[in-house]
Chain A
Amino acid sequence: DTAVSQTPKYLVTQMGNDKSIKCEQNLGHDTMYWYKQDSKKFLKIMFSYNNKELIINETVPNRFSPKSPDKAHLNLHINSLELGDSAVYFCASSQVHEQFFGPGTRLTVL
């Protein structure tokens, strides 16, 4: 069974489009996260949700919005995509501090 899953695995889209990435965890964890890993492989936290409450919101553009319909899901919506948004996006979950990551979604903006 996959612990943390993301869809899609690859996403290629044009500048200006709106897209979503879905994340689901079956570990029963209370906290979920979104990370961005750029071309230099730096992993930077974007958001975290704990029991449906946003508890971290790093200085990301407001074109990015996390949405959590329930404790097991944290989706990432991106509006008006820009070239600089191209990266690999990882979802993660944790119960205490140890995070379990999904396989990543490679987003390419043309």
Chain B
Amino acid sequence: EDQVTQSPEALRLQEGESSSLNCSYTVSGLRGLFWYRQDPGKGPEFLFTLYSAGEEKEKERLKATLTKKESFLHITAPKPEDSATYLCAALDNYGQNFVFGPGTRLSVLP
């Protein structure tokens, strides 16, 4: 069965304190790995897609990387506005089944 796990469940950082979020996946052939940001009371907002091991994508203070078993979302010098829940999702090789992880709730304190 396809599965996605994320760690840690929650993370508190001081402003400027860099860290990484982990997403581990078990899918029958990975077609794509996706990162989303979700603010309270809102729908998830797309951040990145990664398709193959070794691939990296960057956007402002965020960088996503992918290996054959996991993905990392690196946050460099975070700001309070980066506080949100970060979700990762895996798409299987059939291209039909998106499996989301439980998310990491990030709080960045000023």
A residues in contact (CB < 8 Å) with B: 4, 33, 40-45, 48, 55-56, 90, 92, 97-104
CB distance from A95 to the nearest CB of B (A): 12
A55: chain B residues within 8 A (beta carbon):
96
- Chain B interface mostly: strand
B43 touches A56 (CB 8 A): no
Whether the Cβ atoms of A102 and B85 lie closer than 8 Å is: no
**Which of B32, B46, B85 has the most chain A CB within a 10 Å cutoff?**
B46
Contacts of B85 in A (CB 8 A): 41
Which residues of A have CB within 8 Å of B99? 45
> Which residues of chain A come closer than 8 Å to B36, judged between CB atoms?
101
Alpha-carbon distance A48/B96, docked complex (angstroms): 8
User: Assuming A41-B103, A48-B96, A98-B49, is B87 touching A103 (CB within 8 A)?
Assistant: no
In chain B between 50 and 85, which residues have their CB closer than 8 angstroms to a CB of chain A? 85
Return B33 CB to nearest CB of chain A, in Å. Answer: 10
Say whether B25 faces chain A, with CB atoms less than 8 Å apart: no
Nearest CB of A to B90, in Å: 11
Q: Which listed residue (B31, B44, B91, B103) contacts A101, Cβ 8 A?
A: B44
Q: Across the interface, which residues of A come within 8 angstroms of B87, CB to CB?
A: 43
Check A42 against B100 for contact (C-beta < 8 Å).
Answer: yes
A43 and B100 contact, CB distance less than 8 A? yes
In the bound assembly, the distance between CA atoms of A4 and B103 in angstroms comes to 22
Partner of A92, one of B32, B43, B49, B103: B43
Chain B hits for A102, CB < 8 A = 43
